[in-house]
Amino acid sequence: MDEWKLPLRDALIKEVAEKHRFSDQFLKDHTQTLLRIYESRKQCEGCKGLYMCTQAKKGERLSLDYDGVLLREVEHCPYKKKNDSLKDFKESYVYSDISEDLLGLDLDNIELEETGVKGLFLQCYDIYEGKRDKGLYISGDLGVGKTYMCIALANSLVKKGKKVAFVKVSDFINDLRRSLSSEPGRYDRNMRKLQDADVLILDDIGSESVSSFSRDDVLFTILDYRMEHRLLTLFTSNLNRSDLLKHYTYDKNDKSSAMKAKRLLERIRILSDEYVLEGKNKRK
Protein backbone atom coordinates (compact mmCIF):
# COMPACT_ATOMS: atom_id res chain seq x y z
CA MET A 1 0.00 0.00 0.00
CA ASP A 2 1.22 3.51 -0.82
CA GLU A 3 2.27 5.35 2.34
CA TRP A 4 -0.17 8.23 1.75
CA LYS A 5 -3.13 5.80 1.77
CA LEU A 6 -2.26 4.28 5.15
CA PRO A 7 -3.86 7.03 7.32
CA LEU A 8 -7.21 6.38 5.61
CA ARG A 9 -7.44 3.16 7.63
CA ASP A 10 -8.39 5.32 10.61
CA ALA A 11 -12.14 5.95 10.68
CA LEU A 12 -11.85 9.62 11.71
CA ILE A 13 -9.24 10.50 9.09
CA LYS A 14 -11.27 8.72 6.42
CA GLU A 15 -14.43 10.56 7.51
CA VAL A 16 -12.76 14.00 7.34
CA ALA A 17 -11.11 13.17 4.00
CA GLU A 18 -14.40 12.09 2.45
CA LYS A 19 -16.37 14.99 3.93
CA HIS A 20 -14.00 17.59 2.48
CA ARG A 21 -13.19 15.59 -0.64
CA PHE A 22 -9.44 15.55 -0.20
CA SER A 23 -7.74 14.78 -3.48
CA ASP A 24 -5.04 12.16 -3.76
CA GLN A 25 -2.53 14.94 -4.27
CA PHE A 26 -3.68 16.70 -1.09
CA LEU A 27 -3.26 13.49 0.84
CA LYS A 28 0.20 12.98 -0.61
CA ASP A 29 1.23 16.57 0.25
CA HIS A 30 0.13 16.05 3.88
CA THR A 31 1.26 12.46 4.32
CA GLN A 32 3.59 13.05 7.27
CA THR A 33 1.02 15.03 9.24
CA LEU A 34 -1.67 12.44 8.58
CA LEU A 35 0.69 9.60 9.45
CA ARG A 36 1.47 11.16 12.85
CA ILE A 37 -2.25 11.44 13.57
CA TYR A 38 -2.84 7.87 12.37
CA GLU A 39 0.00 6.45 14.48
CA SER A 40 -1.20 8.34 17.57
CA ARG A 41 -4.71 6.96 17.18
CA LYS A 42 -3.49 3.46 16.36
CA GLN A 43 -1.79 3.38 19.79
CA CYS A 44 -5.26 3.33 21.32
CA GLU A 45 -6.28 0.08 19.62
CA GLY A 46 -7.04 -2.61 22.16
CA CYS A 47 -6.78 -0.21 25.10
CA LYS A 48 -9.07 -1.06 28.02
CA GLY A 49 -8.35 1.87 30.32
CA LEU A 50 -5.98 4.67 31.28
CA TYR A 51 -3.78 2.17 33.09
CA MET A 52 -2.85 0.76 29.64
CA CYS A 53 -2.24 4.13 27.96
CA THR A 54 1.06 4.47 26.04
CA GLN A 55 0.53 8.01 24.77
CA ALA A 56 3.07 10.72 25.62
CA LYS A 57 0.37 12.34 27.77
CA LYS A 58 -1.94 9.80 29.37
CA GLY A 59 -5.41 9.88 27.86
CA GLU A 60 -4.53 12.32 25.05
CA ARG A 61 -4.29 11.47 21.35
CA LEU A 62 -4.10 13.39 18.10
CA SER A 63 -7.25 14.25 16.21
CA LEU A 64 -8.00 15.85 12.84
CA ASP A 65 -10.17 18.67 11.55
CA TYR A 66 -10.23 20.81 8.42
CA ASP A 67 -11.17 24.48 8.12
CA GLY A 68 -9.57 25.50 4.87
CA VAL A 69 -6.32 24.18 6.28
CA LEU A 70 -5.49 20.85 7.86
CA LEU A 71 -5.77 21.09 11.65
CA ARG A 72 -3.93 18.65 13.89
CA GLU A 73 -5.64 18.76 17.28
CA VAL A 74 -5.40 17.03 20.63
CA GLU A 75 -8.40 15.23 22.11
CA HIS A 76 -9.10 13.27 25.27
CA CYS A 77 -9.95 9.61 24.77
CA PRO A 78 -13.23 8.20 26.20
CA TYR A 79 -11.41 6.75 29.22
CA LYS A 80 -9.82 10.12 30.01
CA LYS A 81 -13.17 11.89 29.66
CA LYS A 82 -14.83 9.38 31.97
CA ASN A 83 -12.00 9.67 34.50
CA ASP A 84 -12.21 13.47 34.49
CA SER A 85 -15.98 13.29 34.92
CA LEU A 86 -15.59 10.98 37.93
CA LYS A 87 -13.00 13.31 39.48
CA ASP A 88 -15.37 16.26 39.07
CA PHE A 89 -18.15 14.22 40.66
CA LYS A 90 -15.94 13.15 43.58
CA GLU A 91 -15.07 16.80 44.22
CA SER A 92 -18.79 17.43 44.73
CA TYR A 93 -18.51 15.47 47.97
CA VAL A 94 -17.76 17.28 51.21
CA TYR A 95 -15.52 14.31 52.04
CA SER A 96 -15.25 10.99 50.23
CA ASP A 97 -13.53 7.68 50.85
CA ILE A 98 -15.33 6.07 47.90
CA SER A 99 -13.15 4.41 45.27
CA GLU A 100 -13.55 5.75 41.72
CA ASP A 101 -14.86 2.44 40.38
CA LEU A 102 -17.97 2.84 42.58
CA LEU A 103 -18.74 6.48 41.82
CA GLY A 104 -21.12 5.43 39.05
CA LEU A 105 -23.25 3.39 41.44
CA ASP A 106 -26.58 4.88 42.54
CA LEU A 107 -30.06 3.89 43.66
CA ASP A 108 -31.25 3.69 40.05
CA ASN A 109 -28.71 1.11 38.91
CA ILE A 110 -27.88 -0.89 42.05
CA GLU A 111 -28.49 -4.63 41.78
CA LEU A 112 -31.02 -5.99 44.27
CA GLU A 113 -30.67 -9.75 44.60
CA GLU A 114 -31.73 -10.62 48.13
CA THR A 115 -34.78 -9.78 50.23
CA GLY A 116 -32.77 -8.13 53.00
CA VAL A 117 -31.07 -5.81 50.56
CA LYS A 118 -34.42 -4.87 49.02
CA GLY A 119 -35.70 -3.92 52.46
CA LEU A 120 -32.66 -1.76 53.08
CA PHE A 121 -33.05 -0.23 49.63
CA LEU A 122 -36.55 0.96 50.55
CA GLN A 123 -35.21 2.55 53.74
CA CYS A 124 -32.45 4.31 51.80
CA TYR A 125 -34.87 5.42 49.10
CA ASP A 126 -37.04 7.06 51.74
CA ILE A 127 -33.96 8.98 52.88
CA TYR A 128 -33.27 10.01 49.27
CA GLU A 129 -36.88 11.17 48.88
CA GLY A 130 -36.73 13.16 52.12
CA LYS A 131 -39.40 10.98 53.74
CA ARG A 132 -37.12 10.02 56.61
CA ASP A 133 -35.47 12.50 58.96
CA LYS A 134 -33.65 9.90 61.06
CA GLY A 135 -30.60 7.95 59.91
CA LEU A 136 -29.83 4.24 59.97
CA TYR A 137 -27.42 2.09 61.94
CA ILE A 138 -26.89 -0.79 59.49
CA SER A 139 -25.30 -3.82 61.13
CA GLY A 140 -24.49 -7.22 59.66
CA ASP A 141 -21.77 -9.65 58.76
CA LEU A 142 -18.91 -8.96 56.38
CA GLY A 143 -19.79 -8.60 52.71
CA VAL A 144 -23.59 -8.58 52.95
CA GLY A 145 -23.92 -5.24 51.13
CA LYS A 146 -24.02 -2.57 53.86
CA THR A 147 -21.34 -0.33 52.39
CA TYR A 148 -22.46 -1.01 48.81
CA MET A 149 -25.97 0.25 49.52
CA CYS A 150 -24.73 3.32 51.38
CA ILE A 151 -22.44 4.24 48.49
CA ALA A 152 -25.41 4.06 46.12
CA LEU A 153 -27.38 6.33 48.46
CA ALA A 154 -24.46 8.74 48.88
CA ASN A 155 -23.91 9.09 45.12
CA SER A 156 -27.63 9.64 44.55
CA LEU A 157 -27.77 12.34 47.22
CA VAL A 158 -24.74 14.14 45.77
CA LYS A 159 -26.42 14.15 42.35
CA LYS A 160 -29.41 15.72 44.08
CA GLY A 161 -27.22 18.56 45.35
CA LYS A 162 -26.80 17.44 48.97
CA LYS A 163 -23.57 18.03 50.88
CA VAL A 164 -22.48 14.48 51.63
CA ALA A 165 -19.53 13.04 53.56
CA PHE A 166 -18.78 9.34 53.17
CA VAL A 167 -16.09 8.29 55.64
CA LYS A 168 -14.28 5.06 56.38
CA VAL A 169 -14.00 5.56 60.13
CA SER A 170 -10.67 3.83 60.71
CA ASP A 171 -8.92 5.65 57.84
CA PHE A 172 -10.39 9.00 58.84
CA ILE A 173 -9.25 8.72 62.47
CA ASN A 174 -5.76 7.62 61.45
CA ASP A 175 -5.52 10.60 59.10
CA LEU A 176 -6.72 12.96 61.82
CA ARG A 177 -4.16 11.60 64.25
CA ARG A 178 -1.35 12.20 61.74
CA SER A 179 -2.52 15.73 60.94
CA LEU A 180 -3.08 16.77 64.56
CA SER A 181 0.55 17.76 65.14
CA SER A 182 1.71 18.43 61.59
CA GLU A 183 -1.36 20.14 60.07
CA PRO A 184 -3.76 21.30 62.78
CA GLY A 185 -5.61 23.40 60.20
CA ARG A 186 -6.47 20.31 58.17
CA TYR A 187 -7.58 18.53 61.35
CA ASP A 188 -10.03 21.35 62.12
CA ARG A 189 -11.28 21.54 58.51
CA ASN A 190 -12.00 17.82 58.25
CA MET A 191 -13.77 17.74 61.61
CA ARG A 192 -15.91 20.66 60.52
CA LYS A 193 -16.74 18.97 57.20
CA LEU A 194 -18.18 15.95 58.99
CA GLN A 195 -20.01 18.05 61.56
CA ASP A 196 -21.71 20.28 58.98
CA ALA A 197 -22.48 17.85 56.12
CA ASP A 198 -26.16 17.51 55.18
CA VAL A 199 -25.67 13.74 55.27
CA LEU A 200 -22.82 11.91 57.00
CA ILE A 201 -22.18 8.21 56.44
CA LEU A 202 -19.72 6.63 58.87
CA ASP A 203 -18.67 3.38 57.25
CA ASP A 204 -17.44 0.41 59.31
CA ILE A 205 -17.69 2.12 62.68
CA GLY A 206 -16.25 -0.09 65.42
CA SER A 207 -13.41 -1.37 63.22
CA GLU A 208 -11.03 1.34 64.42
CA SER A 209 -8.64 0.99 67.32
CA VAL A 210 -10.37 2.50 70.33
CA SER A 211 -8.78 5.24 72.39
CA SER A 212 -9.95 8.35 74.16
CA PHE A 213 -8.87 10.25 71.03
CA SER A 214 -10.98 8.21 68.60
CA ARG A 215 -13.98 7.77 70.87
CA ASP A 216 -14.19 11.08 72.73
CA ASP A 217 -12.26 13.68 70.74
CA VAL A 218 -13.39 12.58 67.29
CA LEU A 219 -16.57 10.51 67.22
CA PHE A 220 -18.33 12.01 70.23
CA THR A 221 -17.48 15.56 69.13
CA ILE A 222 -18.88 14.96 65.64
CA LEU A 223 -21.99 13.07 66.69
CA ASP A 224 -22.85 15.39 69.57
CA TYR A 225 -22.81 18.33 67.15
CA ARG A 226 -24.92 16.48 64.59
CA MET A 227 -27.41 15.43 67.27
CA GLU A 228 -27.80 19.02 68.47
CA HIS A 229 -28.32 20.24 64.89
CA ARG A 230 -30.53 17.29 63.85
CA LEU A 231 -28.37 16.37 60.87
CA LEU A 232 -28.93 13.08 59.04
CA THR A 233 -26.34 10.45 59.94
CA LEU A 234 -25.92 6.83 58.86
CA PHE A 235 -23.61 4.11 60.14
CA THR A 236 -22.47 0.72 58.90
CA SER A 237 -20.87 -1.81 61.22
CA ASN A 238 -20.09 -5.48 61.65
CA LEU A 239 -21.18 -4.99 65.29
CA ASN A 240 -24.69 -4.55 66.58
CA ARG A 241 -25.19 -1.63 68.93
CA SER A 242 -24.85 -3.77 72.07
CA ASP A 243 -21.48 -5.07 70.89
CA LEU A 244 -20.46 -1.58 69.85
CA LEU A 245 -21.06 -0.40 73.42
CA LYS A 246 -18.71 -3.10 74.67
CA HIS A 247 -16.18 -2.15 72.03
CA TYR A 248 -16.09 1.46 73.23
CA THR A 249 -15.96 0.46 76.90
CA TYR A 250 -12.38 -0.49 76.20
CA ASP A 251 -10.75 0.36 79.53
CA LYS A 252 -12.27 -1.75 82.31
CA ASN A 253 -9.99 -0.10 84.88
CA ASP A 254 -11.27 3.36 84.05
CA LYS A 255 -14.59 3.94 85.80
CA SER A 256 -15.46 6.75 83.40
CA SER A 257 -14.93 4.56 80.31
CA ALA A 258 -18.34 2.91 80.56
CA MET A 259 -20.08 6.25 80.96
CA LYS A 260 -18.25 7.78 77.98
CA ALA A 261 -19.15 4.75 75.86
CA LYS A 262 -22.81 5.08 76.90
CA ARG A 263 -22.82 8.78 76.03
CA LEU A 264 -21.48 8.00 72.55
CA LEU A 265 -23.98 5.19 71.98
CA GLU A 266 -26.79 7.46 73.13
CA ARG A 267 -25.90 9.88 70.30
CA ILE A 268 -25.90 7.01 67.82
CA ARG A 269 -29.28 5.82 69.12
CA ILE A 270 -30.83 9.29 68.82
CA LEU A 271 -29.39 9.78 65.32
CA SER A 272 -30.34 6.41 63.85
CA ASP A 273 -32.63 3.39 63.86
CA GLU A 274 -30.90 0.01 63.79
CA TYR A 275 -31.34 -2.12 60.68
CA VAL A 276 -29.87 -5.63 60.69
CA LEU A 277 -28.87 -6.71 57.20
CA GLU A 278 -28.71 -10.47 56.81
CA GLY A 279 -27.33 -12.40 53.88
CA LYS A 280 -24.36 -14.22 52.41
CA ASN A 281 -20.89 -12.75 52.03
CA LYS A 282 -20.82 -11.52 48.40
CA ARG A 283 -17.06 -11.00 48.46
CA LYS A 284 -16.30 -14.73 48.58
Q: Of 50, 80, 110, which residue constitutes the final position of a domain? A: 80
pLDDT, tens digit, for every residue of 108-141?
999 887 657 899 999 999 999 999 989 999 999 9
How buried is 142 (Cβ within 10 angstroms: 0-12 exposed, 13-18 middle, 19+ buried)? exposed
The backbone torsions φ and ψ at residue 197, rounded to the nearest 5 degrees and listed phi first, read -55, 145
**Is 284 part of any domain?**
no
DSSP class per residue in 171-211 = HHHHHHHHHHHH-HHHHHHHHHHHHH-SEEEEETTT-SPP-
Q: Do 238 and 140 meet the contact criterion of CB atoms below 8 Å apart?
A: yes
Residue 117 lies in a domain: yes
Mean pLDDT in residue range 248-275: 92
The pLDDT score that the predictor gives to residue 115 is 58
Total number of domains in the chain: 2
Instruction: Name the residue range of residue 241's domain.
Output: 92-276
Q: Identify whether residues 50 and 169 lie together within a single domain.
A: no
The verdict on residue 87 lying in a domain is no
pTM: 0.77
Kindly list the strands in the beta sheet with 95-96, ordered across the sheet, starting from the edge strand earlier in the chain. Answer: 95-96, 164-168, 199-203, 232-237, 135-139, 272-276
**Alpha-carbon span 244 to 206, nearest angstrom:** 6
182 pLDDT tier (thresholds 50, 70, 90): confident
Residue 70's CB: how many other CB atoms inside 10 A? Answer: 17
Note whether 138 and 69 are same-domain residues: no
* 86 is a domain residue: no
> Are residues 105 and 59 part of one domain?
no
- Nearest residue to 248 via CA among 268, 230, 231: 268
> In this structure, are 215 and 74 located in the same domain?
no
Residues 245 and 171 in one domain: yes
pLDDT attached to residue 181: 81
Both 184 and 258 in a single domain?
yes
Report which of residues 14 and 117 the model is more confident about.
Answer: 14
Establish if 246 belongs to a structural domain.
yes
Query: Are residues 67 and 117 located together in one domain of the fold?
Result: no
Q: Does residue 281 belong to any structural domain of this protein?
A: no
282 pLDDT exceeds 70?
A: no
Same domain? 236 vs 169 = yes
- Beta-bridge partner residues of 234: 201
CATH number, domain of 110, equals: 3.40.50.300
pLDDT at 9 over 60: yes
Cα distances (angstroms) measured from residue 95 to each of 146, 163, 215: 19, 9, 20
- Verify that 69 and 113 share a domain, yes or no: no
Provide the percentage of residues in the chain whose pLDDT is more than 70: 97
Contacting residues for 95 by C-beta, under 8 A, at least 6 apart: 165, 166, 167, 172, 190, 193, 194, 197
Nearest to 165 by CA among 200, 190, 215: 200
In a domain, 283, yes or no: no
Candidate from 75-79, 91-95, 279-283 with smallest mean pLDDT: 279-283
Assess whether 35 and 99 both reside in one domain: no
Return the pLDDT at 95.
96
**Binning pLDDT at 50, 70 and 90, where does residue 37 land?**
very high
Whether 100 and 71 map to the same domain: the answer is no
In a domain, 13, yes or no: yes
Same domain membership, residue 161 and residue 200: yes
